[in-house]
Structure 1
Amino acid sequence: MAISSNGHAASRTNGNGKLRGYSAWSLFQHGVSDAQWPRAWRGHDLADTYDVIIIGGGVHGLATAYYLAVNHGITNVAVLEKSYIGGGGSGRNTAILRSNYLTPEGVRFYDRSVKLYEHLAADLNFNVMFSQRGHMTLAHNDSSLRTMRWRAEVNKLQDVDSDVIDPGEVKKLVPHMDVSPYARYPILGALYHPPGGIVRHDAVVWGYARGADAHGVHIHQKTTVTGIDVDAGKVTGVQTDQGRVSAPVVVNCTAGWSTLISDMAGVEMPVQTFPLQAAVTEPVKPFLDTVVVSGTLHVYVSQTDRGELVFGASVDPFASYSIRGSLEFTEGLGGHVLELMPALSKMRLLRQWAGLCDMTPDYSPIMGPTGVEGFYVDVGWGTYGFKAGPVSGEAMADCIAHGRPPEIISAFGIERFAAGRLVGEKGAAAVGH
């Protein structure tokens, strides 16, 4: 499907706002003819005023726009993206989904996101390729095993399916895993989370963009925000390289640049930005059904539907805005993966990349209103922002529509840092996935 930003929406709706699909025959006709595919979303001139301006055209910004329109009927919305839709963190992640976090607040939040992902393809009428293949976090020492049991009990109290399994069960799920007691990092057990899995990140972004556009949202690519106008403690609009636009509500849904945008409104964010690297191998016959994570080795691996193995690790140990890969990362990553699955030694890495992660002191996001009236933030997602896209969009839309945070994100307000009410998720979010 074309993803250009101009075209016509009428061909994609059935008259009642629902997105219309294509029959098998129409797909065949387009495939064998020179007929033009309808555009996935339209292009618009930048209006002088909107009810809501969302800065950031990734999954969080687009989901917020979509749920504002669908759940609250707020359609006079602009999404401003300095590059192309999904070109930031949404296009530079490994798209692993899970809800087996450590705090009750985190578990409830991410479980809602997994449930939204489960029927997202039907809601958007767009295949997001969600594969619930299970998520396994390995324990290599007694301390890790205690943490896994802690997380499992917290998950169960929130009705989330997670349990600690022994090395024999690990071997059944991943036959290529070295679970012998003679391994350098012996596997004592694992936290197994069946609802976890992987999704196609660009499909999610395109689906939300298409859905938001069908409900009247304006999506503006190649539009850079250069300033935010504040008068008497209230937001009045934004300055862009295309001109000034007025709006009583501005939402910061950026990653990597969240502090820069918040500074424009005079709001300081306790956020540091770190690169996160990942790599992918040549495709091979599918053999790995489960996402495998090792916090001790700071590595995780999953296999795509095309057969490639996707590897990732924790964030780089220094703050930076660089998105270049490094040989040091590749060497360390390769060694750690082979500690777990020695049989992969002959596989070839095809490419590696990096994205930018905004880390908060407690490894939890910052969501909701700020000290500037009309200025909202949905930032600080660290290494786990993509899995939270649907629930974040739903919750932020509710927050904007009603002027107060819903209960599901009430613990993530910026005021928690001054009050000392941190939501410590480092024990469940220290590896970059």
Structure 2
Amino acid sequence: MSSNNGHGGHSRYSAWSLVRHGLTPKSGWPRAWREHDLESSYDAVIIGGGVHGLATAYYLARDHGMRKVAVLDKAYIGSGGSGRNTAILRSNYLTPEGVRFYDRSVKLYEHLAADLNYNVMFSQRGHLTLAHNDSSLRTMHWRTEVNKLQGVDSSVIGPDEIKKLVPYLDTSADTRYPILGALYHPPGGIVRHDAVVWGYARGADAHGVHIHQQTEVTGIDVSHGRVTGVQTNRGPISTPVVLNATAGWATLISDMAGVSMPVQTFPLQAAVTEPVRPFLDTVVVSGTLHVYVSQTDRGELVFGASVDPFASYSMRGSLEFTEGIAGHVLELMPALHRMKLLRQWAGLCDMTPDYSPIMGPTPVEGFYVDVGWGTYGFKAGPVSGEAMAATLASGKPPEIISAFGLDRFTDGRLVGEKGAAAVGH
């Protein structure tokens, strides 16, 4: 069995060696990514150590040769939205721009484990978006046609086919919310969110990127309309390029550079059950019931809903959410009534007016943003990193993200994704 040390070398370990190293303090295994002194200057500074920031750093170093790059996180990498999401992947969006964008991300995810030499546990098990009324069913047909035109595998299926895919779903006609059909998206699935973060961090470090945890940005220096540096709790950094790749605090960071963002922040809650024998192969989403559910490789059911109905920075769970999610899940799958809910949590979601992200340059030269991801940012980690790396290297956004610029809100070129992102999964 081989294990990569994150810096290009390989060592062979027996099964006993793996156990011994796992139980022995200071076993001699190298760190997945190194600690560095904070340098006084970098060619680029990326604020946010989640999947977007780390992926950008990785592709910036690997594909564009820009290796004097710092990734800053005020806590530890993956401590924000990347560690608080339910890690569902799909590309069956509503607009052509959105479909093309997320389809590229799914394709990158398909090869990510091989590219990073790190098992990210991507499982393409299929994705079902249920329709409970005629209006929802029309939207599913609409999305299917948009998807097919972009070469994405999606189709509308009926209750009999749904029952074959998910036998525990109540597809009878005498329920409160009968299932009339569903948008079936075979490439969709789930991934291990922390593995993606760790894989990108290790890959970026191997290419020379400096990852600085416990490093909070307290200010952004701007002179004559362009970025000149950032201020941190560990000292100042001189840099001509800054990327805001934060979730939850996107507006606070942008305000430091004098750039206003049309973003509101809402909590999104989720919960997980005790592990049980695997029985749910596909991801199931109901926009009408505001619920989605998937089963992890360890057997837990992961539940989520739509964002809380009020703007807030709170990351505490609520009894109201627990009662609501339990009732909606049982309406879909009554047989789960004996399962125990183990824990719940919340993350912060930055919502834009058109439910699409904001990516690219800003009126301040050298200050770039990759923000406004709502409830669907983890799906876009690889493609966002790839596209933002190209943007930072050239100063110009590639075609795949050209529709998501900040200027679309003043020019009236909105990319309306609410019909495919209202529940977000």
Query: Is the structural similarity TM-score above 0.5?
Result: yes
Q: Give the whole-Å Cα distance in 2 for the aligned partners of 1:215 and 1:287.
A: 41
1:147 is aligned to 2:135: no
Q: Give the whole-Å Cα distance in 2 for the aligned partners of 1:103 and 1:199.
A: 24
Distance change in 2, residues 1:113/1:22 (3 Å): farther
Give the alignment of 1:193-232 within 5 angstroms: 193-232=185-224
1:403 is aligned to 2:403: no
Distance change in 2, residues 1:28/1:391 (3 Å): farther
Shift of 1:31: 1.7
Q: Deviations over 1:64-84 (max 9, x none)?
A: 000000110110000000000
Identity percentage of aligned residues: 81
- Give 1:88's match in structure 2, choosing from 70, 80, 85: 80
Post-superposition, which runs of at least 4 consecutive aligned residues in structure 1 deviate over 3 A?
A: 20-24
1:305 is aligned to 2:297: yes
Shift of 1:38: 1.4
Shift of 1:209: 0.2
Please give the secondary structure, in 1, of the residue aligned with 2:269.
Answer: strand
Give the alignment of 1:28-427 within 5 angstroms: 28-33=16-21, 34=24, 35-427=27-419
Q: Which amino acid aligns with 2:127?
A: H
Q: Give the whole-Å Cα distance in 2 for the aligned partners of 1:50 and 1:137.
A: 45
Shift of 1:30: 3.4
Q: Which amino acid aligns with 1:370?
A: T
Q: Which amino acid aligns with 2:20?
A: V
Give unpaired runs (5+ residues) of structure 2. none
- Kindly indicate whether the alpha-carbon contact (under 8 Å) linking 2:122 and 2:192 is maintained by their aligned counterparts in 1: yes
Please give the secondary structure, in 2, of the residue aligned with 1:84.
Answer: coil
Shift of 1:11: 5.0
Q: Give the whole-Å Cα distance in 2 for the aligned partners of 1:330 and 1:81.
A: 31
Report the equivalent of 2:6. 12
Q: Which amino acid aligns with 1:30?
A: L
TM-score normalized with structure 1 length: 0.95
Q: Which amino acid aligns with 2:169?
A: M
Q: Give the whole-Å Cα distance in 1 for the aligned partners of 2:368 and 2:316.
A: 31
Please give the secondary structure, in 2, of the residue aligned with 1:417.
Answer: helix
Shift of 1:22: 4.8
Q: Deviations over 1:78-130 (max 9, x none)?
A: 00000001000000000000000000000000000000000000000000000
Q: Give the whole-Å Cα distance in 2 for the aligned partners of 1:22 and 1:412.
A: 44
Shift of 1:203: 0.2
Please give the secondary structure, in 2, of the residue aligned with 1:421.
Answer: coil
Q: Which amino acid aligns with 2:284?
A: V
Shift of 1:21: 4.8
Give unpaired runs (5+ residues) of structure 1. 1-9, 15-19
- Kindly indicate whether the alpha-carbon contact (under 8 Å) linking 1:21 and 1:125 is maintained by their aligned counterparts in 2: no
Instruction: Say what the alpha-carbon RMSD is for the aligned residues.
Output: 1.0
Q: Give the whole-Å Cα distance in 2 for the aligned partners of 1:71 and 1:81.
A: 23
Shift of 1:29: 1.3
Distance change in 2, residues 1:363/1:246 (3 Å): same
Q: Give the whole-Å Cα distance in 2 for the aligned partners of 1:425 and 1:392.
A: 17
TM-score normalized with structure 2 length: 0.97
Q: Which amino acid aligns with 1:171?
A: K
Q: Deviations over 1:8-27 (max 9, x none)?
A: xx95333xxxxx455453x6
Q: Give the whole-Å Cα distance in 2 for the aligned partners of 1:22 and 1:375.
A: 42
Aligned residues: 418
